[in-house]
Every structure is written in C-alpha cells, then in structure tokens.
Amino acid sequence: MNFPLVSKLLGVVMLILAIAFAVCLATAFWLDSPQQLELTIRAFVASVGISLFAAALFFWVGRSHTKKFFRKEALCTIGLAWLLASLIGAVPYVMVLPDADMADAIFESSSGLTTTGASVFGDLERFPPSLMFWRCLSQWVGGMGVVVFFVAVLGFIGVGAKMLYANEASGTVSEFEESRIQSTVAKLVWVYVGLSAACCLAYWGADMPWFDAICHTFTTVSTAGFSTRSTSFAAFDSPTIEWISIIFMTLAGLNFILILRICMGRFRFVLRNTEFAAYITILVIACVLVSAFLRFDGTGWSTEHAIRAGTFQVVSIMTTTGFATEDFTQWTSLPQMMLLFLMLVGGCTGSTAGGIKISRLVIAVRQSILTIERSFRTRVVRQIRVNGQTLSSQSISDVNSYLVLIASVICGSILLVSVFETSHAIDTNLSIVFACLFNVGPGIAEVGPTENFGFLHYHTKLFLSLLMVMGRLELYAILALFAPPLWKRFS
Amino acid sequence: MNFPLVSKLLGVVMLILAIAFAVCLATAFWLDSPQQLELTIRAFVASVGISLFAAALFFWVGRSHTKKFFRKEALCTIGLAWLLASLIGAVPYVMVLPDADMADAIFESSSGLTTTGASVFGDLERFPPSLMFWRCLSQWVGGMGVVVFFVAVLGFIGVGAKMLYANEASGTVSEFEESRIQSTVAKLVWVYVGLSAACCLAYWGADMPWFDAICHTFTTVSTAGFSTRSTSFAAFDSPTIEWISIIFMTLAGLNFILILRICMGRFRFVLRNTEFAAYITILVIACVLVSAFLRFDGTGWSTEHAIRAGTFQVVSIMTTTGFATEDFTQWTSLPQMMLLFLMLVGGCTGSTAGGIKISRLVIAVRQSILTIERSFRTRVVRQIRVNGQTLSSQSISDVNSYLVLIASVICGSILLVSVFETSHAIDTNLSIVFACLFNVGPGIAEVGPTENFGFLHYHTKLFLSLLMVMGRLELYAILALFAPPLWKRFS
Ligand SMILES: [K+]
Ligand SMILES: [K+]
C-alpha cells in the first residue's frame, strides 16, 4: 500500500470540502437572520478550520510519495475519503442544531454526501438558510464525486483512474483509455454543470423561489433527494415544477457518458445502447402501470393527476432520487411493491443513481435465461451481448459475484437492524435497508416519504451511515477496508 | 426429446400413485365412520381408477422406446411427474370435502407431494381418517421421491440417473458412479424406511396415539410438516414428544448419504464434511440465540420451556419441516427475522429439506470473501474447497447462477402474488413466497403457524402450487418446461 499517495489524495478531498464549507459561510452572511448568524458563522468557520487542518495533515504525511498507484490504493482512497468527509460534514449539523446528537449529524451528513437523501430531521423549516444550503450542496458535491471526482482527482497521476472508474461505475471502462481520461473528465464536469444550470433555470422559470431552485437543482441532478421543505415537492403544488423535475431526474439517471454523446449529436450510438433501451423501457412500463393503478383504484383522481403522480413517484424512486408529491405508503400493496422493486433496480451505470443498476440486471436476466437452457443442454455455447459487445465469462462472473454479495449484505443488514429496531414490523426494517443501501432516501412503511429516520436507535443510525457509504461505493471500497491483506505495506 | 421413454416413466409414477391411493382405500374401510365411508370410498376408488387409467395411457404411448436418456428427458420427466401427481392427488380432497374448490385441492395436494406442508384447511378435525392418512402419506411418498425416487425409477435404464441426481440434490454427484447407483438407491430407501420406523416407534412409545404417530412419522422424516391436529405439535403438550420430533427433524435435514455413512460407522468421513459442520453450527447458534431471547424477553417462561420452544421452532423452520409448538408471529421482530432467514438457509443437499441449502450458502459465502479480496488483488489465485475437494470454477459459477435465478424468482413471485393479494402487508406476501418456494409450510405475519392459506385468492393458490413444485425441484425442472428448445424432437 502506497500510504503517502493515499494520504495526499485524501488531502485534496479535504481541500474541496473546505471550499464547500467556505461557500456556505458566505451564504450565512448573506441569508441567515441576525439571531442565527452567530451560531452558523461559528459552525462553518469551525468546519472550514477542521477540514483545512485535516488537509494540511494529509498533505504533510503524503509529502514524498511514489507514483505507484494500483487498485488497492484506489479503493482505499475512495473508501476513506467518503467516510472521512461524512464525519467532517457532520460538524455544521451538530453545532447549529441544539437537539442533534452525533449519530443524527453523521447520518444526515452521510446521507448528503452519498446522495441518499434520507433525513433524521422532520422540521426543516427551522434550519437556517446556510445549513440548508450545506445540506443540499453536499449532495451536489457527492454527485459530482460519483460521476467524475475520482477520475478528476486522479487524472494528474495518469494511471489507475481506469481501474478506479471501473470499480465506481461498472461497465463503461472501454470509454476510458488512459490518454483520453483527462479530456473526458473535463467534458463530464461540463455536462454535470450544464445540466445543473439548465435545471436551475427551469425551476426558477416555473416560479420556484430562487433559493429553493438552487437547492433543488443540487439535489435533482445528483438524484439525491433532499428538499428544502418538509413535504418535499408537494409543497410547491405546481404541475409545471413537477414535470421539470421528472425530466431532470430521468436525465440524471442516465449514464453521463450517454448524455455527453447526445450533446455531441451521436444519437445512433445512444440508441444502440442496451442499458439506455432497458432503462427507458422499464421506466415507461412502470409509469403506465402505476398511473393506471392510481387512476382506477378508488383514488378518485383525474387522469392528468394520476399520470403526473404516478410518473413522478416512479421516476423519483427508480432514479433513486427520493422526492415525493404523494405519500405512497397509503397506496395498496401492489404499487408499493413495484416501487420497492424499482429501488432495487436503480438507474444506469455511470449515473449518480443508486440501486443494483440496469446493466447488471440486464446481464443477470440474460444469464438466467441461458442458465435455464444450459440445465438441459449442458454443452450449449452461447454468448451474452450487451451494447453490441460480447461479454467475457469473467465479466458475467463479476456481475454474479456482485449480486450474491449484495444479497448477503442485504440479509446481514436486515438482521443487524432488527437487533436494535425490535419494535418495528419486518417491512419497515427491510425498507430501511433498501432506502439506505440503494441510496434512495425514503422507503415504505414507517420510513415513507412523509416520515423521517429520526425515531431510529443511535446505533442503527451509525450503522445506516456506513451502509449508505457502502452502497454508494458499490460495496467493495468499504468491504475491502475490513480485509487485512489491504493494509499490508508491500504486496 | 425421447417422448416414449418420458411417457413410460410417467406411467411408473402413476402406478406408484395408484398404490398409495389403494392403501388409503384400505384405511377408509378400516377407520372411517359409517357416515363418511360412502364418500371416502367413492373418492379413493375414483383416484385409483384415474391414476391406473393414466398409467395405462402412458405405458401405451411409451410402449416402444429407445434407450436414449439425457438431461433433458430427465428434467422433463421430473417436472411433469410432480405436476401431474399434484393434479391427480387433488382428487380425494375435492371429492370428500364439500367446500373445497379446485384451487384448494390442488394447493393441498401440491403442498403434500412437495413436502411443503402449507394448508388451506383450518379445521382438520372434520377430515375423515382416510383423507388425513392420504394427506400425510403424500408427504412421505414425496419425501421418498426427493431422496431416491428418481434414481430408483431410472435405475433400470442405467444411464442418466447421475445427471438427474446432480440436478435434484446438488453437490453429491461423485457418490453416484453408474455401477453403484442401484445399490446406493436400495440403501437410501432402507435408510428412509428405517428412520421412519424408528421415528414411529419413538412417537408411539411417548404415548402418541398410534394413528397420529404414523401420520406424524410420515411428515417428520420427509421434513414436510402436515399435522393431524389444527394446533400442530402444541396439541400433544408433551415435552418428550417434542424432543423426539426435534431429533428426527434434525436427522431428516441431513444429507441421506451422510446418514448412510453414519450407519456404516464411517464417522471420520462425516466429521470431515463441510456441509455437516456448517449445518450443525448454524443450528446450534440459532437455537441458543432464539432460546436466550425467549428466556429473557418478557415471556416469563422457565429456562427449560424457553430452550425447548426455541429449539423446536428453530429446528422445525431450518429443516423446513414447519411443525410448531408456539405462535412465533407473536414474537418481536429479531427472532422472527431469524426464523425467516433460516427458511432461506434450509437443510443439507441430498435431504428432503427445502431452502437454498447449506452447501450452496457455504460456497457463496466463501466466494464472496474471495471476491472482496479480488477487488484489490485482481490476480490473486485462490481455490475454494468444500468437503476436502477443490471446486471447479464451473461449479462456483453454477451456484452463483442458481442464486441469481432464485433471487429473480423470489422477486417475480412477490410481485405476482401482490397482483391478487392487494390487501395484505408486504411482509405477508414475502413470507407467503418464502413458505412455498422453500417448501417450509408456515410463514410469518398472516400465514403464521396458527393460520392457514385458505384466505388467499383462487389464482394465488394455483400459482403457489406451481411455486412449491418449482422450489421442490430446485427451479430448473419446471423452468425448463417453459423453454421452447426442450420440446424439439431432435436436438
Ligand atoms: K437519493
Ligand atoms: K415443510
């Protein structure tokens, strides 16, 4: 393990965190009321100080490093960066909110930086504007991190980024040849920023107050889901705003490389993409089914209302954003079950969405069909093709291993959550795990969109914070930290 | 596809069914009250007639067959045999019970022959003794089928049994070399019969009425779970009977080849067996945890009562038998969740237990650990060893494929069940699928051990009947029936 280099990279992460805190400090001067100001300034100055101190410490430890950067260094950097940032990001919450304990603050901070959007706070209206801004900005920064951060940070080293990206957003490695990494990273940053600008203008144009427009932009393009209002998008009661949100959530659930291709006018490339086709197909079918259900199952809604409500909830859940305009825990079990499964599906690889990811499911389904045929034709040779390319048996095996691993993590997490949450029904514990591991935010049952995670046990909140980071980094970067061989200096 | 041979084998299955019905007919003459007699005699005579007619038809179609017997013929035979037997086995229920519709009867019959033990009937006391006898006998016959039936039936052909057994009870193929199949089959039948005799004597010796002793023996050694009483084992209120049941359920959850080895005195072989060690370890840990929980969590029970209740429920659920002495749906969520996961675990391969099976889980866990290490050491070469043998990458890949497939089946089934069962909570629908797919019998929530499946929709019952057969045959034999290439005459 090349500890000095890992340390230096962590220093860069801390520096970025310091900049984000500085922006929030400026917001505090500008927007916070005089009574709030003293508290928030103290909180953000402390946050900037802590992150600068950490950055300096990490740069000092990493002052002389070799260039050796391999997969283990990459995994270690990602895992530690997210865990550390979640801890330091908790400082403003614990300093500004008098009733927030450490577990609350760490949960909210992890939920922000992992773009999960699950909250332990029910009464958002008491938040000073600057803290609300940090809450939403952390999701935008986290989302940017998912799309390009690792690649951008590691670009100056020139090696490893490919492996890193392969781990972070599976399936699109071939796009990233060494020489093109830096330029691709810059383009992806522009896509992310451009998408944010467009989203913000659209919200603002639809009469959303400009502070809300900025905050919701942060949490829309990162499919993150924090809202400035306790009732989420229902607070605005505006069909136009809802449709704008639907469009940008759908875009943010796409592979950002595909969005780049669309911007470059390469539509044929996009249309030939298996994951794109599957994503749109699943989305449309789910929207139609849920909308039809809402229209005809005794809600008494108009067709327009049913379509809008169905589409919004389906898109929000499948892209693992987690905004809500309706309390779907009041629906009957079929549409709720569909939403629960959409959480599991998630968005495309290379997007900020969570879940298992479409490409993995496509591979799993095709492979299952092949397995059934192989059960009676043992010698049949048939390849699985995705995006016009034949998958190697190693790739298929990797996907299967990942699915088995995530199933184990789900089972283990539900059991562990049940240890502390003994008074809740099984569907609550199950959906708590889904909501956190797949970075969705709200769940069903007692953690529905109108509820929050505040009632959970102290230890549960800490465990769920780890689970959110684990889900965000697709398991390996966190699980590897628990593997002793990772920490050997030479190997 | 060698249709004539498949047909002939189905004829043999129908003949065995006719013999079982004939035994029930004899029971009717002997035990049924005069008022019941006319109805039950008519029902069992009709059943014998239908199965003899079907047998004759199948033998006629298969009168001239070639010896070609491959994996596809084997799968097709198993799948069709279980489906057909379930349909014909429904005849007595529908003819004897005036209020049972087709779906009820097919569900109860499938539940019997697949050794699931889920029931749609709540008031068992109104069953004539002969029908009760058929209900329990069908489980014993089904259990015998799982252990040796396929091998015994296919023994006279001399080929294919190995492949067949490989599909039916994964992991123990090497035991079955062609030349030894017939003698092993005979020995396994003796183990099954011997275990049944011992179990029956033990029950009878512990003052269980002899009719109940025979019926419960049928459903204990096949880990099946039908009881002659509506309240299951709680009806006898006898610690001795409960401990006897615990011992025989534990034995029946073992690989029958291991039991054979124990009888042959080859203890070292057994102790070296990975699956045996894992089975006993999981069982002991679960018993200790659940018992401790019951002792200290406000039940007010004595230590003896807590240990007995905890052990009985854990053994019954993990071996997927499904007997109950306590209503565990009244427990808090942690021990309930543990029982739910034990359903998923199941017993050993080569036993009559359902679930995913211990050996698959051992392989999956070892492989997951290896996957985590591979995430940062891509070139690490390390083998997975089970039972002292190194697994081929094909075996590991088969296990992974199976797990991915069963996860898909679980998700699909829950969604499909939700279509008809819209008024139940998600944990009910989930546990309905677990209880049927893993051949457990009772579930949690609304299908707990004191409840029954009678309240379900007509279509749900039919679907669950298929699901029980699918689970019993480890998916492939039923899924393959839906694959068009299976039905090609030449390939
Ligand atoms: K989210
Ligand atoms: K059972």
**pLDDT bucket at B248, cuts 50 / 70 / 90:** very high
Which of A342, A426, A481, A486 to mutate against chain B (most B CBs within 10 Å)? A426
Q: What pLDDT sits at residue B147? A: 78
Query: pLDDT tens-digit profile of A12-22?
Result: 899 999 999 99
Angstrom distances, CA of residue A88 to CA of A47, A48, A472: 7, 10, 18
Lowest mean pLDDT among A130-144, A171-185, A317-331: A171-185
Count the alpha carbons within 13 Å of B306 in the hemisphere toward its beta carbon: 18
Lowest mean pLDDT among B23-37, B240-254, B456-470: B23-37
Cβ of residue A466 closer than 8 Å to a chain B Cβ: no
Quick check: helix, strand or coil at residue B57? helix
Q: What pLDDT sits at residue A179? A: 52
- Residue A389, phi then psi, degrees to nearest 5: -115, 145
Q: What is the mean pLDDT of the segment spanning A322-346?
A: 87
Lowest mean pLDDT among A247-256, A344-353, B468-477, B478-487: B478-487
Subunit contact B427:A424, Cβ cutoff 8 A: no
Query: How many CB atoms neighbour CB B415 within 10 A?
Result: 16
Average per-residue pLDDT for chain B: 84
Subunit contact A341:B429, Cβ cutoff 8 A: no
Query: pLDDT tens-digit profile of B194-207?
Result: 999 999 999 999 98
Subunit contact B71:A444, Cβ cutoff 8 A: no
CA of B246 to the centre of ligand 2 (A): 14
In terms of pLDDT, which residue wins out, B359 or A170? B359
Subunit contact A423:B333, Cβ cutoff 8 A: yes
3-state secondary structure chain A: CCHHHHHHHHHHHHHHHHHHHHHHHHHHHHHCCHHHHHHHHHHHHHHHHHHHHHHHHHHHHCCCCCCCCCHHHHHHHHHHHHHHHHHHCCHHHHHHCCCCCHHHHHHHHHHHHCCCCCCCCCCHHHCCHHHHHHHHHHHHHHHHHHHHHHHHHHHCCCCCHHHHHHHHCCCCHHHCCHHHHHHHHHHHHHHHHHHHHHHHHHHHHCCCCHHHHHHHHHHHCCCCCCCCCCCHHHHCCCHHHHHHHHHHHHHHCCCHHHHHHHHCCCHHHHHCCHHHHHHHHHHHHHHHHHHHHHHHCCCCCCHHHHHHHHHHHHHHHHCCCCCCCCCHHHCCHHHHHHHHHHHHHCCCCCCCCCCCCHHHHHHHHHHHHHHHHHCCCCCCCCCCEECCEECCHHHHHHHHHHHHHHHHHHHHHHHHHHHHCCCCCHHHHHHHHHHHHCCCCCCCHHHCCCCCHHHCCHHHHHHHHHHHHHHHCCCHHHHHHHCHHHHCCCC
Query: How many CB atoms neighbour CB B179 within 10 A?
Result: 8
Which chain B residues touch A402 with a CB distance below 8 Å?
A: 371
Element (H, E) at A482: none
Cβ of residue A415 closer than 8 Å to a chain B Cβ: yes
**CB-nearest partner of A404 from B71, B76, B400:** B400
Q: What pLDDT sits at residue A182? A: 66
Lowest mean pLDDT among A368-377, B15-24, B237-246: A368-377
**pLDDT bucket at A134, cuts 50 / 70 / 90:** very high
Q: What pLDDT sits at residue A349? A: 82
Would you list which residues of A are annotated within the binding site? 115-116, 320-321, 439-440
| pLDDT at residue A354 is higher than 90 | no
| pLDDT at residue A384 is higher than 90 | no
Cβ of residue A410 closer than 8 Å to a chain B Cβ: no
CA distance B292 to chain A (A): 14
Q: What pLDDT sits at residue B489? A: 62
Subunit contact A377:B415, Cβ cutoff 8 A: no
In terms of pLDDT, which residue wins out, A161 or A255? A255
**CB-nearest partner of B341 from A167, A344, A415:** A415
Subunit contact B426:A421, Cβ cutoff 8 A: no
**pLDDT bucket at A163, cuts 50 / 70 / 90:** very low
CA of A288 to the centre of ligand 2 (A): 39
Which of A343, A372, A490 to mutate against chain B (most B CBs within 10 Å)? A372
Query: pLDDT tens-digit profile of B338-391?
Result: 898 999 999 988 788 888 988 888 888 888 888 888 777 766 677 787 777 777
CA of B440 to the centre of ligand 2 (A): 4
Quick check: helix, strand or coil at residue B386? strand
| pLDDT at residue A109 is higher than 90 | yes
Q: What is the mean pLDDT of the segment spanning B139-160?
A: 62
Query: pLDDT tens-digit profile of B266-302?
Result: 888 788 888 889 999 999 999 999 999 888 877 788 8
Q: What pLDDT sits at residue A271? A: 81
| pLDDT at residue A299 is higher than 80 | no
**pLDDT bucket at B125, cuts 50 / 70 / 90:** confident
Which of B73, B164, B297, B375 to mutate against chain A (most A CBs within 10 Å)? B375
Report the distance separating Cα B107 and Cα B110, nearest Å: 5
Subunit contact B75:A491, Cβ cutoff 8 A: no
**CB-nearest partner of B334 from A70, A422, A480:** A422
> Which region holds residue B194: left if phi is over 0, alpha if psi is between -120 and 50, else beta?
alpha
Query: pLDDT tens-digit profile of B158-181?
Result: 333 343 344 333 334 444 445 566
CA of B441 to the centre of ligand 2 (A): 5
Spatial contact of B429 and A334, defined as CB atoms under 8 Å apart = no
Count the alpha carbons within 13 Å of A384 in the hemisphere toward its beta carbon: 22
Report the range out of A353-357, A434-438, B253-257, B330-334 with the highest average pLDDT.
A434-438
CA of A415 to the centre of ligand 1 (A): 23
In percent, the amount of chain B with pLDDT more than 90 equals 38
CA of B475 to the centre of ligand 1 (A): 35
Average per-residue pLDDT for chain A: 84
Q: What pLDDT sits at residue B202? A: 94
Q: What pLDDT sits at residue B179? A: 52
Residues 6+ apart with CB under 8 A from B131: B24, B40, B43, B92, B93, B96, B97
Q: What pLDDT sits at residue B246? A: 94
- How many A/B residue pairs have CB atoms within 8 Å? 164
Report the range out of A13-22, A166-175, A363-372, B158-167 with the highest average pLDDT.
A13-22
Q: Is B228 annotated as a binding residue?
A: no
**pLDDT bucket at A173, cuts 50 / 70 / 90:** very low
Q: What pLDDT sits at residue A5? A: 84
Smallest-distance ligand from the CA of A226: 1
CA distance B228 to chain A (A): 31
Q: What pLDDT sits at residue A180? A: 60
Q: Which of residues 417-446 of B touch A (CB under 8 A)?
A: 418-419, 421-427, 429-430, 444-445
| pLDDT at residue B263 is higher than 80 | yes
Nearest CA in chain A to B344: A411
Smallest-distance ligand from the CA of B118: 2
Task: Identify the DSSP state of B391.
Answer: P
Q: What is the mean pLDDT of the segment spanning A370-399?
A: 77
Q: What is the mean pLDDT of the segment spanning A458-478?
A: 90
Report the distance separating Cα B359 and Cα B171, nearest Å: 8
Query: pLDDT tens-digit profile of A247-271?
Result: 999 999 988 888 888 888 888 878 8
| pLDDT at residue A170 is higher than 50 | no
**pLDDT bucket at A331, cuts 50 / 70 / 90:** confident
Q: What pLDDT sits at residue B440? A: 92
**CB-nearest partner of B476 from A367, A372, A425:** A372
Query: pLDDT tens-digit profile of B99-119?
Result: 889 999 999 999 999 999 899
* Pair of tokens at residue B414: 């829950």
CA of A339 to the centre of ligand 1 (A): 14
| pLDDT at residue A166 is higher than 70 | no
* Pair of tokens at residue A43: 């909180």
Query: pLDDT tens-digit profile of B393-436?
Result: 777 888 888 888 899 999 999 989 988 887 777 888 888 999 99
CA of A173 to the centre of ligand 2 (A): 47
Q: What pLDDT sits at residue A65? A: 74
In terms of pLDDT, which residue wins out, A293 or B74? A293
Subunit contact B377:A491, Cβ cutoff 8 A: yes
